[in-house]
Amino acid sequence: MRKALAVILCLVLVVSIAACGKTDTGTTAADSGGKSETGSAQQSGTNTDKRVKLTFLCQINVDTEGYDVNDNPYINYLRDTLNIDIEIISESSNYENKVNTVMASGDYPDYVQLSKSLYFKYAYDGALIKLDDLLNETDYPNLMAGVDEKYWNYSKIDGSIYGIPFVRYDTTPYLSYARKDWLENLGIDPSTLKTVDDYYNMLYAFTYNDPDRNGLNDTYGLSGCSGGTAMNSVAERYMGMLFIDAFDAAQFQVVDGKVIPNYITDGYKDYLKFLAKLYADGIIVPDYITKTQKQTEEEFMNGKFGVLNLFWSLSTLSSMRENLYPLRPPQKVNGGGESKYVYATPIRHWIGITTACKYPEKVLQIFDWSETDEGSVYVHAGIEGWDYDKVNGEIVIREDRAGINWAWRFITLGHQKSKVDSQLLPILTQSWGELAMEHLKLSEQYGTNDPIYVSAPEFSELSDYDFDTYVASYRDEVIMGKKDIDTTWDDYVAGWYKYGGERWVELYTEWYNNSYNK
């Protein structure tokens, strides 16, 4: 008998060549005069002004090759190039707590990396300066031309802009990948997989038909890990992102004139029931909820299970790319066409400039430079003589430096060129490879965002309610078979409303009617 016992549980670059129209910041888009052929104006001249010191609070949660975040080739390059003494304050984990602690002390940094919830919180608290009167295309032509109008609109709080949006290159950073060797061993043609049932059958075969041909009963279809939020659960990314939109369970919805979150919809109930079936049938690694993200990815690499949802860049698993097949999401179970990989927002973070900053124009000059060709080379190729060389005038990234440290560099800088253009594409291709660029295109083709969630504000009073724990606890118990969803679903939904959901619906519906749906 196979894996008899079920035990335990766990949901961001195609080329978006969007036209640069007007931004609703009181200025018009820059014309093409004076720009390079890639569409960027020339460098903004930060290195010719008086040198100042700026402190930047950010989350450098990636490998730094043993370097101190304030003493390494990348931060030193920025200091010399921009003529600004940038001092990093970083926290790799519990970053939200770090931000709240620093801001509560009253000793503000000059600028700070913020998630959506923190961006709204500190704008409402009066800790961030309004940028509307500062943003203009004369002083910051690259920034204003680079960031499209819709992202400035997403950044508005009560009509004003309080932060610079860091725009992703992809609609979703995630794709679900299946092991090609297992598909081939089992004679499964992944291009023929269309429905949720088709994918169930593939996962079942991965679990019970000895896909690695080692003669042992030691493989599974899916796994996951702990962590995440109600809206962006790691469990639902790893195990469920392939399926959740097929059940119409991935996005906020308007039901009877009221906005409700995805996790109390009828579709979400059906989706959880499907995941519970996968678990009960032994298809999901039973102790997945005890795993860290690193452990789960290592088990995938080592052949314990056959499908995992990953960044299209694959990061530490990039060596597996040739053996991975990117899966198209299945058709919707209600006959509504193709489903998508739904990612909450195309904005990774915002950079807010605090009221303590004496030189906000210097911060904006940093981000203006980041939109230039030189800035994009820094982020995606690195430093000449360290990460790449110039050969006949062309950038050639060193083989042992390709695809590494780009996240470290863009976090240190705080921003990146917002569009993949003809200058940037060859650099990305060198860093990640032709196949990775194809996967980037697929992430755009297969991905979408939740339009209501992207546009909605964050309501500070809702932070009093721990919806994440409430939803995650129920979800985990259902998937692991500890609760029967048919007999407990109504109580779960009623409890959510009682726990604070009534106020959630009231606030989002009021915003929807007064602002979004005018």
In the predicted model, what is the mean pLDDT of residues 131-158?
95
pLDDT at position 49: 67
Residues 178, 298, single domain; the answer is yes
Residues 406, 484, single domain; the answer is no
In the predicted model, what is the mean pLDDT of residues 369-389?
98
Q: What share of the chain is helix, strand, coil (3-state, %, to 5)?
A: 45, 15, 40
Residues 361, 384, single domain; the answer is yes
230 confidence band (pLDDT: 50, 70, 90): low
224 confidence band (pLDDT: 50, 70, 90): confident
The structure tokens listed for 244 are 């959740």
How far the first Cα of the chain sits from its last, in Å, is 59
Could you tell me what percent of the chain has a pLDDT over 90? 75
Is residue 24 within 8 Å of 131, Cβ to Cβ? no
In the predicted model, what is the mean pLDDT of residues 397-411?
94
Residues 324, 353, single domain; the answer is no
**Residue, of 431 and 4, whose pLDDT is higher:** 431
CA distances from 371 to 39, 44, 119, 416, 438 (A): 10, 10, 22, 6, 24
pLDDT, averaged across the chain: 89
Residues 335, 351, single domain; the answer is no
259 part of a folded domain: yes
Q: End of a domain among 381, 413, 445?
A: 413
Q: How far apart are CA 421 and CA 39, in angstroms?
A: 8
pLDDT at position 12: 33
515 confidence band (pLDDT: 50, 70, 90): confident
pLDDT at position 73: 98
24 part of a folded domain: no
**Residue, of 129 and 31, whose pLDDT is higher:** 129
Residue written as tokens 């940093």? 366
- Shortest CA distance to 225 belongs to which of 293, 278, 280? 293
Residues 396, 291, single domain; the answer is no
Q: End of a domain among 361, 379, 413?
A: 413
pLDDT digits (tens, 9 = 90+) for 160-178: 999 999 999 888 889 999 9
214 part of a folded domain: yes
In the predicted model, what is the mean pLDDT of residues 234-247?
84
Residues 267, 382, single domain; the answer is no
pLDDT at position 199: 98
The structure tokens listed for 419 are 């569009």
Q: How far is CA 27 from the centre of its chain?
A: 29
In the predicted model, what is the mean pLDDT of residues 126-146?
97
202 part of a folded domain: yes
Residues 189, 266, single domain; the answer is yes
184 confidence band (pLDDT: 50, 70, 90): very high
Domain of 209 in residue numbering reads as: 174-339+455-516
pLDDT at 235 over 90: no
pLDDT at 389 over 50: yes
pLDDT at position 229: 53
pLDDT at position 426: 95
Residues 253, 285, single domain; the answer is yes
**Residue, of 293 and 348, whose pLDDT is higher:** 348
- Identity (one letter) of the amino acid at 18? A
- Shortest CA distance to 177 belongs to which of 332, 301, 62, 339? 301
pLDDT digits (tens, 9 = 90+) for 71-114: 999 999 999 999 999 999 998 888 999 999 999 999 999 999 99
pLDDT at 232 over 60: no
In the predicted model, what is the mean pLDDT of residues 289-318?
90
Residues 366, 465, single domain; the answer is no
**Residue, of 51 and 10, whose pLDDT is higher:** 51
pLDDT at position 470: 92
Number of domains in the chain: 2
pLDDT digits (tens, 9 = 90+) for 308-329: 999 898 877 888 999 999 999 9
Lowest mean pLDDT among 88-92, 181-185, 379-383: 88-92
20 part of a folded domain: no
In the predicted model, what is the mean pLDDT of residues 171-189?
96
pLDDT at position 33: 31
79 part of a folded domain: yes
In the predicted model, what is the mean pLDDT of residues 31-54?
53
pLDDT at position 92: 83
Q: How far is CA 325 from the centre of its chain?
A: 21
In this prediction the pTM is 0.81
pLDDT at 18 over 70: no
Residues 6+ apart with CB under 8 A from 506: none
Residues 84, 224, single domain; the answer is no
pLDDT at position 316: 76
Residues 330, 358, single domain; the answer is no
pLDDT at 454 over 70: yes
Lowest mean pLDDT among 11-20, 174-183, 432-441: 11-20
14 part of a folded domain: no
329 part of a folded domain: yes
Phi then psi dihedrals of residue 506, to 5 deg: -60, -45
Q: End of a domain among 355, 389, 413?
A: 413
Q: How far apart are CA 153 and CA 156, in angstroms?
A: 5
Give the CATH number, domain containing residue 133.
3.40.190.10
pLDDT at 221 over 80: yes
Phi then psi dihedrals of residue 356, to 5 deg: -85, -10
Determine the length of the chain. 518
